[in-house]
Every structure is written in C-alpha cells, then in structure tokens.
Amino acid sequence: MSDTASSPATMRGCAIRACGEEMVLMDDLPLPTPGPHDILMGMRSAEVGDWDELVRTGALIII
C-alpha cells in the first residue's frame, strides 16, 4: 500500500555534506524514494552522536 500521494517533496533534516565542512543544523532535504524492499518512516526527532563530529571533521572514516 502506497501513501506517496500525500507525502511532501522535502523533509527537514541534518546532513553531513563533506568532511571538514560545518554541519548544516537544519535544512530542507529531498524526501528519499524507497526502493521495492524499503520503507519510508516519519520521525519527530533523532539523536546526534558524539561520533558525528568525528565523521564531519574526517577524524573517523566509515568504510
């Protein structure tokens, strides 16, 4: 069952755009399109971990 007709085109969110760059605290981001085996869930809040700054500054590389 799909509810894409009532879904907005964008969502509010945070994103790490590049290592070393200041993190955009809040931005309008495109709403992701789920694949055939994915689901799209709405969230009211999410946690920022202490590792987020390490990824942003390039001190931690996730492979």
In a domain, 39, yes or no: no
Residue 37 pLDDT:
95
**pTM, whole model, 2 decimals?**
0.52
Residues 6+ apart with CB under 8 A from 61: 55
Closest by CA position to 46, among listed 9, 6, 11? 11
In a domain, 43, yes or no: no
In a domain, 38, yes or no: no
In a domain, 40, yes or no: no
In a domain, 9, yes or no: yes
pLDDT in tens, the chain (63 residues): 455 556 678 888 877 766 666 666 678 889 889 999 999 888 888 887 777 778 777 787 777
| Phi, psi (rounded to 5 degrees) for 8 | -75, 165
Read off the DSSP letter of residue 59: S
In a domain, 36, yes or no: no
Q: Tell me, what amino acid is at 27?
A: D
- Name the domain count of the chain: 1
In a domain, 12, yes or no: yes
Domain residues for the domain of 1 are 1-31+48-63
